[in-house]
Amino acid sequence: MASAQSQDLIAPAAIVLLGAPLRPSGAPRPALARRIDVAYSLARQMPDALVIACGGRSWFGRVEADAMAEELQRRGIESARIIRDRLSVDTLSNLTCARDLLDAMRLARRVAIVTCDWHGGRAFAIANRLDFEAMVVPAAAPEGGPLTGLRRRLHETIVTRIDLLRSGLYP
């Protein structure tokens, strides 16, 4: 399947919302709150798309997928449209679980992936290797200065290769 990191994807079967840490109160931290905002906007624009809330990590007794799903429901997204992936714990397993869920429902692997802008390249590379037809819809992170940008790029470059190697997807 072809993949595109653009806004040209037509009628995704699902919006794949990637998880992130929660506050001690159980509320989303800023990065996850921005992702939820973007996913909510997409869900309103794409009423036929499911939303897969990916995140099985528990932070202070609350699972990421539950926090995301509950916030989307609070804003008016129907619970029947939201699938909670409570098993995945990182980007690779987020997308692997999303693929398996879509396959089990016999839906196309056509998705809009919502994650932080600096993380989109890794999510896209993994999605491409997992045969998704995907676009990344970024949640913009605040400017953090040149060292923050350099650290993020270096981290994502290294971890992308590690994820692809450990999955057997590396070229």
pTM comes to 0.87
Neighbours of 54 (CB within 10 A): 31
Give every CB contact of residue 93 below 8 A, 6+ residues apart in sequence: 56, 87
Tokens found for residue 69: 């799903």
Q: What is the pLDDT of residues 63-111, one digit of tens each?
A: 999 999 999 999 999 999 999 999 999 999 999 999 999 999 999 999 9
Q: What is the pLDDT of residue 3?
A: 43
CB 138 within 8 A of CB 115: yes
Average pLDDT over residues 2-28: 80
97-154 residue pLDDT tens:
999 999 999 999 999 999 999 899 999 999 999 999 999 999 998 777 778 878 888 8
- The CATH homologous superfamily to which domain 14-142 belongs is HUPs (3.40.50.620)
Nearest to 163 by CA among 28, 18, 58, 35: 18
**Range 16-38 average pLDDT:** 96
Task: Please give the pLDDT value at position 2.
Answer: 40
Residue 167: CB atoms within 10 A of its CB come to 15
